[in-house]
Amino acid sequence: MAAKGVEKEVEVSGVQSRLRVYETEEDPPDGMSDLEVDVYETIKTIRDPEFPYTLGQLRVITPDGVQVHEKPGLTPLITVTFRPTVAHCAMAQQIGLCIRSKLEREFGHDRYKIDIFVAEGSHNDSAGITKQINDKERVSAALENPMIVKMVRAAIEDPY
């Protein structure tokens, strides 16, 4: 039986919004590789930078958005596609940065290639944000900002 989401009123920066929030994150379906399950389990608990819920509870991250491509002789590729809560989400870049930071911390940026995508049509600037969060120089520059580092650390801190 699928989990039912509950509509919740939340206030962000003085603006009321309605979100669909799920009590728990989705369970990975059969057919996912062990590594795909590990990736999903790692990122579903990232806290949303704006709301007091995890990316899994908000369905920003879902199991079908995680893929691992492994080919002999090539660096394995982890791809994550996420869906911001609204098409004008101001925190989409930060969410992508949190996903990248947690994956690099847990899986190592030297052992895996990591690509992160904003689902097409889920944000007004899906392509632009996707380009930014996969640009090593922009990511590196963002992580030199102490305020961004503080936000990322708070979001990816293990809640358990």
Q: What is the pTM of this model?
A: 0.85
- For residue range 8-56, list pLDDT tens digits in order: 666 655 666 666 676 667 777 788 999 999 999 999 999 999 888 999 9
Which run of H or E residues covers position 138?
helix 136-142
Tally of structural domains, the chain: 1
Q: Is residue 98 part of a domain?
A: yes
Q: Is residue 1 part of a domain?
A: no
DSSP 73-106: TS--EEEEEE--SSTT-TTHHHHHHHHHHHHHHH
User: Can you give the residue range of the structural domain that contains 102?
Assistant: 6-156
CA gap 84, 63 in Å, rounded: 15
Question: Any long-range contacts for 103-110 (C-beta under 8 Å, 24+ apart)?
Answer: 103/39, 103/42, 103/43, 103/78, 105/156, 106/42, 107/39, 107/42, 107/78
- For residue range 56-112, list pLDDT tens digits in order: 999 999 999 999 999 999 999 999 999 998 888 899 999 999 999 999 999 987 899
Q: Is residue 150 part of a domain?
A: yes
Q: Is residue 67 part of a domain?
A: yes
Residues 53 and 89 sit within 8 Å (Cβ to Cβ): no
Domain of 45: which CATH number? 3.30.300.130
